[in-house]
Amino acid sequence: MNAQSSPTGSALDAYWMPFTANRQFKDKPRMLARASGMYYETTDGRKILDGVAGLWCVNAGHGRREITAAVAKQLEVMDYAPPFQMGHPDAFALAGELVKIAPAGLAHVFFTNSGSESVDTALKIALAYHRAKGDAARVRLLGRERGYHGVGFGGISVGGMTANRKAWPAAMIPGVDHLRHTHDLARNAFSRGLPAHGVELADDLERLVSLHDASTIAAVIVEPIAGSTGVVLPPKGYLQRLRAICDRHGILLIFDEVITGFGRTGSPFAAQEFGVTPDIITCAKGLTNGAIPMGAVLVSKKIYDTFMQGPAGIELFHGYTYSAHPAACAAGLATLAIYQQEGLLTRAKQMAPAFENAVHGLRGLPHVIDVRNYGLVAGIELDPIPGAPGKRAFDIYLKCFEQGLLIRTTGDIIALSPALIIEQKHIDELLGILSCALQ
């Protein structure tokens, strides 16, 4: 037990917390103080099993000293390097390592600082790519209902979350349309792995092509597995069909792998797991094991080469002060080395059967209307309390935290995405606490 003083009362006022019910939280704060392996510790010294790898990012578990040491060493040697018209060796080394684990053909890397920035960067690259090859009429971007692509204006526009459309209706970028989502409880409830029904939902892309004409469409962006809107899985064959339709019409396919990247599904990227290679992958989170903010956009050789054939000078008018920050690159290199040494990029495949059996053991508990899973991701959907959407799941969230478990909820869906180092004993502990809370 390592109790640590914690702010209370007016000391909580100044910090405006993101995606948080601030007043509710400040009334009864939940404060984390330290983390190691599969566990957090609260400021009052309670051990909390981390069922969500922080926020889908700490894939190698908490407190990895190799990463800490690499970052500390880098900051001592060189704290910062401007990424515009200057380079530093680790930026090139990290891009090279990423390309090695990426699907074949995704051979170039643009660095960002978050998933949101990766998404907006990918959308800008898609638009600029068509313009660079003389196809400037391709200005439309397509997303999907229930998609989450971060919080930038591009990301909320292609995303399909109603709350964004309600809060910022005038700020949506023009020309965007959406595919139908693939969530179908009537046909697919309690699926193990990819759901059997719904491949035809990919044909919705043909509908949008007929409506807008392919000559106006630049790209379609989807999450291979949607996480933030409640673990929505692609029906068998769906991503393959999207790829085929994109190819037929010269539309770029972007996979937002901010949560599926770095081993979550059992392969380095979901693209490899599902055997579908997009033109662009966005990633972040697991890239540095959550230790330092960083994101990346992986693009195909075809896209990069198109830019490199244009007039001499700056090929893409885009970048961030902290793109390829030396500390982030050091963290990324150390993280990828851990993933390789410990086989973590494919470990989810090994652990998936035990995890799947454990989560499906929740079937039959009060209010559980679906359990779905893939690799080391699971979604448990609860019957909402009439008139109080989200309350049932959030009450479970609070109960779990009291009992020593961190989960994530969105609406009335519980998401689990433990670190890839998880062992059977953690699975037992996690499901033990969660099933007690549900009961």
Ligand X SMILES: Cc1ncc(COP(=O)(O)O)c(C=O)c1O
Which residues bind to ligand X, rule: CB under 6 A?
114-116, 119, 148-150, 223, 227-228, 256, 258-259, 284
* Distance of alpha carbon 427 from the chain centroid: 22
| Minimum CB–partner distance for residue 228 and ligand X (Å) | 4
- Record the tokens describing residue 305, joined without a space: 């080469």
Residue 237: CB atoms within 10 Å? 16
Q: Which residue lies nearer to ligand X by CB, 194 or 362? A: 194
- Record the tokens describing residue 259, joined without a space: 């949560």
Q: Which residue lies nearer to ligand X by CB, 38 or 231? A: 231
Q: Which residue lies nearer to ligand X by CB, 276 or 284? A: 284
- Record the tokens describing residue 178, joined without a space: 């959406």
**Of residues 295, 289, 377, the one with CA closest to residue 338:** 289
Read off φ and ψ for residue 213, nearest 5 degrees: 75, 130
| Minimum CB–partner distance for residue 164 and ligand X (Å) | 12
Q: Which residue lies nearer to ligand X by CB, 282 or 373? A: 282
**Under a CB-based contact definition with an 8 Å cutoff, are residues 382 and 303 in contact?**
no
**Under a CB-based contact definition with an 8 Å cutoff, are residues 64 and 56 in contact?**
no
- Record the tokens describing residue 432, joined without a space: 């033990």
| Minimum CB–partner distance for residue 259 and ligand X (Å) | 4
Q: Which residue lies nearer to ligand X by CB, 414 or 427? A: 414
Q: Which residue lies nearer to ligand X by CB, 60 or 259? A: 259
The 176-179 sheet, strands edge to edge = 106-112, 295-300, 280-283, 252-256, 217-222, 140-144, 176-179
| Minimum CB–partner distance for residue 408 and ligand X (Å) | 10
| Minimum CB–partner distance for residue 225 and ligand X (Å) | 9
**Under a CB-based contact definition with an 8 Å cutoff, are residues 297 and 281 in contact?**
yes
| Minimum CB–partner distance for residue 147 and ligand X (Å) | 8
| Minimum CB–partner distance for residue 296 and ligand X (Å) | 11
| Minimum CB–partner distance for residue 89 and ligand X (Å) | 26
Q: Is 107 helix (H, G, I), strand (E, B) or coil?
A: strand
**Under a CB-based contact definition with an 8 Å cutoff, are residues 331 and 288 in contact?**
yes
| Minimum CB–partner distance for residue 142 and ligand X (Å) | 16
DSSP string computed for 124-146 = HHHHHHHHHTT-TT--EEEEETT
Q: Which residue lies nearer to ligand X by CB, 121 or 306? A: 121
Q: Is 273 helix (H, G, I), strand (E, B) or coil?
A: helix
**Of residues 417, 303, 381, the one with CA closest to residue 61:** 417
Q: Which residue lies nearer to ligand X by CB, 91 or 226? A: 226
CA angle 392, 395, 400 (to 5 degrees): 125
| Minimum CB–partner distance for residue 205 and ligand X (Å) | 19
Residue number of the CB atom closest to ligand X: 115
- Torsion of Cα atoms, 198 then 202 then 207 then 211, to 10°: 140
Q: Which residue lies nearer to ligand X by CB, 191 or 228? A: 228
Task: Provide the residue type at 407 as one letter.
Answer: I
Q: Which residue lies nearer to ligand X by CB, 110 or 358? A: 110
